[in-house]
Amino acid sequence: MMWCRANGQGNGEGFVSFNPFPVDSFAFQKMDTSDYLDYHRYIYQAEKFFLEGKDSLSMELYKKVFAAYPFIFAKDAAIATQIAAKNNNLALFYYFAGKSFSGGVQLDCFLNIPILSQYIGRNNIADTLSKMNEGHRMLYLASIDLKKKQLYISNYRKEQLFKKEKKIEEYKNAVLANINRIRQDITEGGFPADRIIGLDDAFLTPERDHCQLSSELALISLYHYPCSYSTFKDVWFEEVRKGNIHPKDVAYIFEYEGELSKNKHNRFEDRCTPLDKSSILVYIDWDSPLDPATFKRANEQRQAFFLPPIQHDLEKREYAQRNGMRLFFGFGIGFFRGHR
């Protein structure tokens, strides 16, 4: 399933290619905030700006996007906060930090990022940020469905327990029950991730790494079910467009299904047949550098998922190392230490 059309020209399926807006367009007042495909294009452009040394343009774009959209992905605000710290712009630092905290980010996650820890210490603002974090956390908790989050916490823990105890049938039944619950929630209101049930949380889900700034409770079940991408393939695009799931999470599900298929790891053979992905490349998160000769095909596949090219991520990785930043978040511990 390809989510691609060149320069906005349709292919009959409503899909859109992943290209940044022209640098000189800056028609930000015309943002269609109901469409998160454009959100991801703006964020890509903001990242391109700072990678090109155009930090002022990057921060300007981040600010306008965050002011316009009713929901923003917390990791984007955390990245913008780092750019403000790099530029010693205290006003924008506070603005982006507030957006991060309103999205569920905890102050301790900032303190684990060298550029932020140093900036906070140098400006002696830890107490101020702690009070901000506390105040914005109330806004964050009010913005998510806590009842639904608690349900997914319970479901996640039950599934993980059966897996740990090697109770295979109970584990399979728990996975299937969670898949059915996800299907129901998509139908009734949207995929249960960052926007709806919030981030993995230091207090509510201490067993999860809350500094990944992602929502994995429902995604874990999808990683365990070998046909998750194909099972929901008719709804993924619309859920990304609504902002209910990050496109890299969908691409990771796609790639993970391919890995399970390739390794013939399917405990649900009586229930589903995974897509044949023997030749599919996405490269969301890997353990070591890959052959650049494979990048062209991988980038075509990534574009179909509304993702930037691999080279963009490699530039971000080098930029992060050079500046003491963290620019990748989400599930995964491979080459990028998180796939978003």
- Tens-binned pLDDT, residue by residue, of the chain (340 aa): 444 433 333 322 333 455 555 544 555 556 778 889 999 999 999 999 999 999 999 999 999 999 999 999 999 999 999 999 999 999 999 999 999 999 999 999 999 999 999 999 999 999 999 999 999 999 999 999 999 999 999 999 999 999 999 999 999 999 999 999 999 999 999 999 999 999 999 999 999 999 999 999 999 999 898 889 989 999 999 999 999 999 999 999 988 887 776 666 667 776 777 777 666 678 888 777 778 888 898 899 899 899 999 999 999 999 999 999 999 998 776 777 788 8
For position 266, what pLDDT does the model report? Answer: 65
One domain for residues 44 and 134: yes
pLDDT at 41: 92
Domain annotation covers residue 329:
no
Give yes or no for a contact between 51 and 18, defined as CB atoms under 8 angstroms apart: no
Does residue 333 belong to any structural domain of this protein? no
Residues 11 and 137 in one domain: yes
Q: Report yes or no on 110 lying in a domain.
A: yes
**Which string of DSSP letters, residue by residue, matches 180-207?**
HHHHHHHHHT--SSHHHH-S--TTT-TT
30 and 88 housed in the same domain? yes
CA distances from 26 to 11, 45, 71 (A): 27, 11, 21
Q: For the beta carbon of residue 115, count every other beta carbon within 10 angstroms.
A: 18
Same domain, 192 and 279: yes
Count of domains observed in the chain: 2
End-of-domain residue from the set 122, 142, 162: 142
State residue 335's pLDDT score. 74
Question: In whole angstroms, what separates CA 151 from the centre of its chain?
Answer: 21
Spatial separation of the C-alpha atoms in residues 303 and 121, rounded to whole Å:
40
| SS3 label, residue 22 | coil
pTM check: above 0.85: yes
In a domain? residue 334:
no
Domain termination site, one of 117, 142, 167: 142
Does residue 88 share a domain with residue 44? Answer: yes
Q: With respect to residue 251, please indicate whether it lies within any of the assigned structural domains.
A: yes
212 and 249 assigned to the same domain: yes
Compute the distance between CA of residue 178 and CA of residue 119 in angstroms, rounded to an integer. Answer: 42
Q: Which domain holds residue 125?
A: 6-142
What distance in Å separates the CA atoms of residue 185 and residue 273, rounded to the nearest whole number?
23
Pair (167, 81) in one structural domain: no
Domain boundary among 142, 163, 183: 142
Are 84 and 98 in contact, with CB atoms under 8 Å apart?
no
330 in a structural domain: no
Q: Does 58 share its domain with 183?
A: no
DSSP string, 98-157: HHHHHTT--HHHHHTSHHHHHHHHHHT-HHHHHHHHHHHHHHHHHHS-HHHHHHHHHHHH
Co-location of 122 and 266 in the same domain: no
Residue 162 and residue 71 share a domain = no
Query: Tokens representing 209?
Result: 């790494």
| Residue 338, domain member (yes or no) | no
Residues 130 and 63 in one domain: yes
Residue 272, in any domain of the structure: yes
Q: For residue 165, what are the contacts with CB-CB under 8 A and spacing of at least 6?
A: none
- Together in a domain, 312 and 182: yes
